[in-house]
Structure 1
């Protein structure tokens, strides 16, 4: 009897080992090779699949090398910003793919196919898991289906125009603080050399701290600092991001990353709990993103019985920070670089701002009259998109154009390639020409369709905070131009290299002159 039981136990163990062994082997070899065969049959080309790692070792090496050095000043920098992708596309053509570990990612550059993908979020979903993204942010950016619909409904009120008008006071206050610091720097001689990037980066963090957390914005600064460090740590772990179980590998970066994640959760939970108690006691306010979000969430729970959990509110607050600060600071700083290179547009923008506001305080309603500045910001978004690539994936066999894409395929929508495509924008594609947008975005892109320019994504999942970002960028540039002129310093190093967004790797050293 005991012998029989022992044999049964051994048989069960063997079955389990074989079953899991097959799953691992399928994940690490058979499935990738099957997807590779499909890609090549469809006319896509790329490196042959390498067991488990794919292209990640070469990818990480080229990214590390790319970050180390600046490039000559040019708006044509896609080969620098995406060195490995550029290498693959140059080698294999537009219809190419790379390996993120055992997962193939095919490039989609046809605006019509991109429009189809972004118009069908239930068929072309965010890749899950996606180690780089999931390590830093969550919330509305990564949720799908019914959960996304519920979260979007709850969060929507925070970005209504009326609430943006209320938050504009916080934006103006933060801008004024930064401008005052620059006035002190130029007080003696009238001009000075300054790296404006830390100021603008801190400004964006200050704005999102104040608009998201109101009176708790000092605590909010801790979130800003932690998330910046998390992004740096991710790059230290880039080569192993797509390895299974990589979070258990006890490297210094991995250990610090886990500690930061816990601290971030603790800080956010403390802020949210304080606000919830204040609201429940009749003392809370609803004039910031957190207050509006909690009020909307309470309403959802009252009406439908289920709202967002504490963990989900925390994830949305993390998203406020990374999406709300990094993307806007990138837009502002690259606008200053472009206006430093193209003084005629700096002068035109300043003249318009002085016509609309004079030297007086800005107001939200007046921003819509800044037509030239809007053209400039759109051209900067085209040349220097804060997010240079969107990713989608198939979970089942899905039709796209004339292809039937198998499940498990990642799709790279490389907006930076589209924004710098000569066939779409003409031979002057890499020149700074805001007049492209003189008749608005729709007229600028009508020949090639709306997804030839989609800095805030497109379709049902278009960025909920785009009006907030544009209002902050307009207000900041307008306030700077009211008081200063600026040009590139000789010590400026051009290095638009993507991290999560695309910050200047070596800062932005400018000569600023007080003109008031």
Structure 2
């Protein structure tokens, strides 16, 4: 769940990609989307659209002029060109404290690579402090920090280092005032109310939901693979699975966890998918124009997003009202039948039974869990499947564990053939150490969010460098998880066994702050145990039935990407809500007992 809101931090580094031409086109579309009266269209066109476009054009020209005065020729797109990087030297006297007048040369990966330096012996190491300059919209100085001691302070002291206002202001427009965006006593009250949902007994109950949804998903993939095998002879065999398939699965799970079985899950899954398809331009517009103004923009993307979000909010509020009324009418003996201390087994019931009475509060938390509760898990599964596809030996190593815990029974088709089945009891779940280490290693190498956004409320000092009050501090989680000084020379290799060894041998353990896929401190991800458990169950179920590989089409595309080495080395990253492999698709081939 850590992916919510923080993903929009990347957008704050790239908002000027939206040129005045884009704005003009969007504004024209907005006029068409509104009621088609000639007077209204003319008023919007001449009274709003044209002046706004002219103002944006002037802002664009001023920004470009300032860049040229600084010796940069490239337009302020998401990242600057390689020519600009060569023209403007990155290094200053201290190799650990540098200043970047531009973010990078072409991609998120290039930005992250620029945060490293090369020692005299040729070894690469991560820079401790990087000045990214003033962020484009709010004028704050933005620095990228890699220092585990500083991480501990920045995630632990909420008064000195609250979440950055601009990023979370935009997030609040989407999620409302839930756990991700709320502060103070309201956050503390709701956090306390929701914590029982993630205790041991509640997680045990939720694992049944995950297993049920996973079995349905696996069955659909087997049917898909068999149908393809019969219809497309000579083509790549197996079921093709992409990010949308995995997100659909994790979304189904979180809908059940949020609302229980009484909700129209099919409607919510469809409505939520439609909303997520529009979230990127909405986030970008919010950062470009500011959270206070985005709702008033006559842009079709803003209009459609707001319309679909409001429809979901109305549906959730209607459900909450019905729940409240049902609880009032139910006899006392019928209450308290769930797995938590309040008798609830889903988020809405838990909040109602804990005394959170405001419909708005419950709705905000439900929306937050929907948004946060599926994306991080689906991303972790994407990276786990990606790494296992690139490492067949590791896939076989995990399969040994899964088969050792499976039960062999006669297949439904008869003929004396036996096939394995895996019922994920608490004991089985606890024994899936290798499977769990695969998920955790994928989260280490590919954290859902490469940095965490914080803001200094007073002057801070790091290695003799003063960070003024109001500085936007980005905690470089990516660097912490790939530091060779911490993880060894193979830090960038996928080796899940390293995490098993660390859990068994204290001498090999690393700092908790060297691996922060779910953040840390009081505001860490409340659902991290749920997310990890879900990913482990889904991965075990998939591997039991399928051999995982990258699709041939993805391999062909990846081979053409820039860089040297294998497909893994050339993977392109895309940052939406979380960090994902761009356009990845997997080919899941049924194992011999599943054919």
Q: TM class by shorter-chain length?
A: 0.7 to 0.9
CA distance in 1, matches of 2:391, 2:431: 22
Match of 2:364 in 1: 315
CA distance in 2, matches of 1:173, 1:447: 35
Structure 1 residues 109 and 446: alpha-carbon distance in aligned structure 2, compared to 1, 3 A threshold: farther
CA distance in 1, matches of 2:268, 2:403: 34
Matched, 1:218 2:257: no
For 1:509, which of 562, 582, 586 is the aligned residue?
A: 586
Matched, 1:232 2:267: no
Match of 1:70 in 2: none
Match of 1:498 in 2: 575
Counterparts of residues 268-307 of structure 1 (less than 5 Å): 268-282=316-330, 287=338, 292-301=346-355, 307=356
Match of 2:531 in 1: 469
For 1:136, which of 170, 174, 181 is the aligned residue?
A: 174
Structure 1 residues 266 and 244: alpha-carbon distance in aligned structure 2, compared to 1, 3 A threshold: closer
Match of 1:29 in 2: none
CA shift digits 1:160-180 (9 cap, x unpaired)? 111111122211111011100
For 2:161, which of 117, 124, 130 is the aligned residue?
A: 124
Once the two structures are TM-superposed, the CA of residue 50 in structure 1 deviates from its matched residue by 11
Match of 2:95 in 1: none
Match of 1:108 in 2: 145
Once the two structures are TM-superposed, the CA of residue 291 in structure 1 deviates from its matched residue by 5.7
For 2:481, which of 409, 416, 419 is the aligned residue?
A: 419
Match of 2:78 in 1: 60
Match of 2:108 in 1: 82
Structure 1 residues 395 and 451: alpha-carbon distance in aligned structure 2, compared to 1, 3 A threshold: same
CA distance in 2, matches of 1:465, 1:437: 21
Match of 1:194 in 2: 240
For 2:307, which of 240, 247, 259 is the aligned residue?
A: 259
Match of 1:352 in 2: 401
1:328–1:469 Cα contact (<8 Å) kept? yes
CA distance in 2, matches of 1:426, 1:514: 36
CA distance in 1, matches of 2:112, 2:292: 27
For 1:339, which of 388, 402, 412 is the aligned residue?
A: 388
Once the two structures are TM-superposed, the CA of residue 326 in structure 1 deviates from its matched residue by 0.2
CA shift digits 1:246-298 (9 cap, x unpaired)? 44231222222222332231122122222222222227786599865445444
Counterparts of residues 373-392 of structure 1 (less than 5 Å): 373-392=435-454
Once the two structures are TM-superposed, the CA of residue 509 in structure 1 deviates from its matched residue by 3.2
> Unpaired runs of 5+ in structure 2?
1-65, 82-103, 118-125, 231-236, 408-419, 559-570
1:136–1:227 Cα contact (<8 Å) kept? no
Once the two structures are TM-superposed, the CA of residue 245 in structure 1 deviates from its matched residue by 2.7
CA distance in 2, matches of 1:380, 1:444: 22
Match of 2:122 in 1: none
CA shift digits 1:187-244 (9 cap, x unpaired)? 2649425134322111011111122212212343145324412423336637725486
Once the two structures are TM-superposed, the CA of residue 150 in structure 1 deviates from its matched residue by 0.9
Matched, 1:178 2:213: no
Matched, 1:157 2:196: yes
For 1:96, which of 131, 134, 158 is the aligned residue?
A: 131
Structure 1 residues 136 and 288: alpha-carbon distance in aligned structure 2, compared to 1, 3 A threshold: farther
Matched, 1:167 2:213: no
Matched, 1:395 2:457: yes
Structure 1 residues 110 and 478: alpha-carbon distance in aligned structure 2, compared to 1, 3 A threshold: same
Structure 1 residues 314 and 235: alpha-carbon distance in aligned structure 2, compared to 1, 3 A threshold: closer
Structure 1 residues 114 and 236: alpha-carbon distance in aligned structure 2, compared to 1, 3 A threshold: closer
CA distance in 1, matches of 2:78, 2:337: 44
Matched, 1:249 2:297: yes
Structure 1 residues 214 and 183: alpha-carbon distance in aligned structure 2, compared to 1, 3 A threshold: same
Match of 2:431 in 1: 369
Once the two structures are TM-superposed, the CA of residue 182 in structure 1 deviates from its matched residue by 1.3
More helix by share: 1
> Unpaired runs of 5+ in structure 1?
1-47, 64-77, 302-306
CA distance in 1, matches of 2:374, 2:506: 27
Once the two structures are TM-superposed, the CA of residue 347 in structure 1 deviates from its matched residue by 0.8
Q: Please give the secondary structure, in 1, of the residue aligned with 2:308.
A: helix
Match of 2:254 in 1: 208
CA distance in 1, matches of 2:255, 2:245: 15
TM-score, L = length of structure 2: 0.68
Size of the alignment, in residue pairs? Answer: 447
Counterparts of residues 437-452 of structure 1 (less than 5 Å): 437-440=499-502, 449-452=511-514
Segment of structure 1 superposing worse, 334-343 or 361-370? 361-370
CA distance in 1, matches of 2:163, 2:67: 23
Structure 1 residues 90 and 341: alpha-carbon distance in aligned structure 2, compared to 1, 3 A threshold: closer
Once the two structures are TM-superposed, the CA of residue 59 in structure 1 deviates from its matched residue by 5.0
TM-score, L = length of structure 1: 0.77
Structure 1 residues 79 and 134: alpha-carbon distance in aligned structure 2, compared to 1, 3 A threshold: farther
CA distance in 2, matches of 1:238, 1:212: 27
CA distance in 2, matches of 1:172, 1:448: 32
Once the two structures are TM-superposed, the CA of residue 411 in structure 1 deviates from its matched residue by 0.8
1:332–1:473 Cα contact (<8 Å) kept? yes
